[in-house]
Chains A and B, each alone.
Chain A
Amino acid sequence: QKEVEQDPGPLSVPEGAIVSLNCTYSNSAFQYFMWYRQYSRKGPELLMYTYSSGNKEDGRFTAQVDKSSKYISLFIRDSQPSDSATYLCAMRTPGGTSYGKLTFGQGTILTVHP
């Protein structure tokens, strides 16, 4: 079983839709949770960062972490064609010489069509 599971999609939605992207994980030691966005032929870029449980909102994007269920989500409101990309969840444990090492989900390919 992978430590982090993410539905690879692909996901295709009309412009203006609400998008929900999800990851589940098995390692209860994960404390830091991130979402990266990767446009075609580019490297991933950090989109959202959350420490421990709770919600974080940034414009049209909301990241949720539910540590009791080992489940994280990224919501995109009023989706735009420019949101078309691969979204990767990532997480890590605190401390140690391997600090900074991230475990990634498989990535979800999202297409928002006009």
Chain B
Amino acid sequence: DVKVTQSSRYLVKRTGEKVFLECVQDMDHENMFWYRQDPGLGLRLIYFSYDVKMKEKGDIPEGYSVSREKKERFSLILESASTNQTSMYLCASRSTGSSYNEQFFGPGTRLTVL
């Protein structure tokens, strides 16, 4: 069964803290994505990775960085968390051979920055 897991369901951090969000997929997918989801704004792409050590900026990369050292793991880093980064963060993965362009999502991490 296809599975994308995220390290935490809920996370509370303080302004200025460095925050790591981890995502692991067990499907041997080449592509991985980080989104944030906010009411009225839908899913917005932060960063994606089309292969190990490869990354590209999405639509809203400011304030974030990513790391993909292994194929199954894609990390999102908030270097210095701010209150406007309070959001739901969703990780997804996809096979380049996917005929349906299907992205498989994790359950999300609800991050609150105080």
A-B contact number at CB 8 A: 65
Neighbouring A residues of B103 by C-beta, 8 Å:
46, 100, 102
B96 lies within 8 A of A104 (CB): no
Q: Which A residues lie within 8 Å of B68 (CB)?
A: none
Tally chain B residues at the interface, Cβ within 8 Å: 28
Indicate whether A106 sits within 8 Å of B105 (C-beta atoms), given known contacts A49-B100, A100-B94: no
Contact indicator per residue, chain A 102-114, by CB within 8 Å of chain B (1) or not (0): 1011110000000
Residue of B43, B90, B92 ringed by the most chain A CB atoms within 10 A: B43
Which single residue of chain B is at the shortest CB-CB distance from A8?
B40
9 A-B pairs whose Cβ atoms sit less than 8 Å apart in the complex: A43-B90, A43-B107, A43-B108, A46-B103, A88-B43, A98-B50, A102-B45, A104-B43, A106-B41
Residue numbers in B under 8 Å from A100 (CB-CB): 31, 33, 48, 50, 94, 96, 98, 101, 103
Query: From residue A81, how far is it (CB to closest CB) to chain B in Å?
Result: 22
Task: Closest A residue to B105 by CB, please name it.
Answer: A43
Once the chains are docked, how many angstroms separate the CA of A44 from the CA of B107? 8
Counting CB contacts under 8 A, is A45 at the interface?
yes
Interface residues of B (CB under 8 A from A): 4, 31, 33, 35, 39-45, 48, 50, 56, 58, 90, 92, 94, 96, 98, 100-103, 105-108
Q: Is A42 an interface residue (CB 8 A)?
A: yes
Min CB gap B98→A, angstroms = 8
Contacting pair B56 A97 (CB below 8 A): yes
- List the A side residues contacting B40 at CB < 8 Å: 8, 106
